Homo-oligomer: A and B are copies of this chain.
Amino acid sequence: MSRAHNSSGPPRPSEELDGRRAAILDAVVAEYVETAQPVGSATVARSAGVGVSPATVRAEMVALEREGYLTQPHTSAGRIPTDLGYRFFVDHLAEPGVLGPTQRSQVARFFNHVRGEMEEVLERTSALLAELTSHASVVVGPSHDAARIVSAQVVRLASKVGLVVTVLDDGAVEKATVELDDDLADETLSVASAALAERFVGRELREVRAEEPLGLDPRAASIVTRSLEAVASIAARREPEHVFIGGSSRIASSFDAVETVRSVLATLEQQLVVVHLLNDVLDSGLSVAIGGEHGYEPLASCAVIVAPIAVEGAPSGVVGILGPTRMNYPEAMAAAEVVSSKLSRRFAAVRHGDPEDQVEPRRG
């Protein structure tokens, strides 16, 4: 599991932190995540893993502040972690983080019970992630452009309107309307449909190019051309295929400045931005971007956790968690990890032709 970060690099101190400072930083992060209050030296000294007096802690905290890991909201208040502090915390997590038993069984139940089309699974997965973590979640479905076309046809919807329908081997269905000539015979349409199928089936979506079909009734040919164009433009539009955002109301619980809430929500509404964000952050494996690290201004007070969905090694989408920088990283990372890997296995199973879910052995 790699924990990449794409920060363009706030000046990192040359020396890594020694064990005691790290322990103190950990304690501050843990406490601050829980209480949302600046943490004082006494509290830190009391916490496990730090066997020194408050005075010593204070001295170390001064150092940690000088090196950029902590800040004081004001003199004579406790410390809170900076983005860099969280970064260190995340990079040096001892255990990979683990879900509570309740959450674990929640995940297991979910993946045992969920049925239906991929879109529905993804949508409900985003709700699951939000529920698990109490943060907003984003799930991006696999891109279709490497998918093979298993069916293509043109059907008539109205006298002058046709619909090109292509079915992809990942279970997605793409469609596009095409204009039909005014008095087009049904037979011509069938011919066109057949010609379309012949050209499409077995190809990958991205291979589809607008081309001039040969050896056809010119009216059918014209339909085929238009259909090719329409499908090619579907394949070309780089818009994310399916983006599901869950638990956006949790944003309101995470910040008490209503303006922050508004701007984060507004950013989430722009799905394209969110997808770019996720792809920027995603390095390989589980990735975390904290505060300013992802360069998206309105999300400066947010952290993003991203995990790829990988089917047979190929990246096939992304799950993400978006919460305040003050979030429970180990738990959120564990949730992203678990959900993404379950989803990956699920999709792989479908690909291999097993429509039934794998039943998880229940233990405990």
User: Could you say which of A20-28, A156-164, A204-212, A216-224 contacts chain B?
Assistant: A156-164
Binding site for B on A (CB under 8 A): 116-117, 150-151, 153, 155-161, 163, 165, 167, 169-171, 173, 175-179, 246-253, 255-256, 258-259, 261-263, 265-266, 268-269, 350-356
> Which residue of A159, A173, A176, A352 has the most chain B CB atoms within 10 A of its CB atom?
A173
Chain B residues, CB < 8 A from A259: 252
Chain B residues, CB < 8 A from A356: 179
Chain B residues, CB < 8 A from A250: 262
Closest B-chain residue to A162, C-beta based?
Answer: B355
The 4 closest A-B pairs by CB, nearest first: A249-B265, A252-B262, A158-B353, A159-B353
- The CA-CA distance from A177 to B156 in the complex, in Å, is 24
Chain B residues, CB < 8 A from A266: 249
Interface of A: prevailing SS: mixed
The answer to whether B175 touches A117, judged by C-beta atoms less than 8 angstroms apart, is yes
- The CA-CA distance from A262 to B252 in the complex, in Å, is 5
Chain B residues, CB < 8 A from A248: 248, 265, 269
- The CA-CA distance from A339 to B117 in the complex, in Å, is 32
Q: Which of B156, B253, B263, B351 contacts A158 (CB 8 A)?
A: B351
Q: Which of B117, B157, B249, B255 contacts A169 (CB 8 A)?
A: B157
Instruction: Looking at the assembled complex, report how far the CB atom of A261 sits from the nearest CB atom of chain B, in whole angstroms.
Output: 5
Chain B residues, CB < 8 A from A165: 151, 165, 167, 173
- The CA-CA distance from A117 to B173 in the complex, in Å, is 13
The answer to whether A171 touches B167, judged by C-beta atoms less than 8 angstroms apart, is no
